[in-house]
Amino acid sequence: MHLQKYEKIPRATIARLAVYVQELEVMEQQGIKVISSEKLAWSCGVNPSQIRKDLAYFGEFGVRGVGYYVYELREAIKQSLGLDRTWNVVMVGVGNLGRALLRHQLLRKRGFVIVAAFDCDPFKIGEEIAGIEVQCSSKLPQSTIDMGVEIGIITTPPERAQRAANYLIEGGIKGIVNFAPSRITAPENVVVEYVDFIHNLFSVAFNITQHQIKGLL
């Protein structure tokens, strides 16, 4: 099992790999050493052929007639995703969502450590949340350069997301996760991901509507 020079991996595969890591960790905690692809698939809510297809991007996994070794598979996926290390993260926008993320224990558990938080509201600057002092946004670029931070999280209101992105880009950030419900523009070498849970609500509403239409037919 080794890191390959892989090509484009579908986004949906990355999302599923995140689920696999999560479920493998639960199994490890339960003392499970080996898991069949059927059982792993079931607990991840996918079918076994999907798991095999997803893992095939990264190399050969699993032993015929045995299944997957829980620890080895988890480590291999983490290595493949660049998660066998810690990533320092800065946050811009300390509103309700920003506060919830600062206090979220899963981020750190997954290797993402928020090292600084910024906001332009003078009432928030100086406040300490989960051990992190909120700093003035204008200090962001120099601060991220000094700390060598690679990932920025935007949790500002939508109308301030682009300004936040500009600060992050100026600070040499390589990837942005934007929780604000607005598109941002960034240079090609900066990776941008959008988190939008509204679309999950849309999807539920859509599927309920579909069920109801079918029920009427």
Residues engaged in binding its own copies (CB under 8 A): 5-6, 9, 11-12, 14-15, 17-19, 21-23, 26, 43-45, 80-83, 87, 89, 95-97, 99-100, 103-104, 106-107, 110-112, 150-151, 174-177, 179, 181-183, 189, 191, 193-211, 213, 217
With residue 143 as reference, give the H or E element that holds it.
helix 140-147
CB of 98 to its own copies, least distance (A): 8
| Contact assessment for residue 184 and residue 192, using Cβ atoms and an 8 Å cutoff | yes
CB of 50 to its own copies, least distance (A): 14
Strand 112-119 to strand 132-136: parallel, antiparallel, or no bridges (unpaired)?
parallel
Question: Across-strand partners of 154?
Answer: 92, 178
| Residue closest to 77 by CA, chosen among 104, 106, 57, 102 | 57
Task: Identify which of residues 4 and 138 has a Cβ nearer to its own copies in the complex.
Answer: 4
Rounded Cα–Cα distance for residues 147 and 126 (Å): 19
Task: Identify which of residues 6 and 63 has a Cβ nearer to its own copies in the complex.
Answer: 6
CB of 3 to its own copies, least distance (A): 8
CB of 59 to its own copies, least distance (A): 15
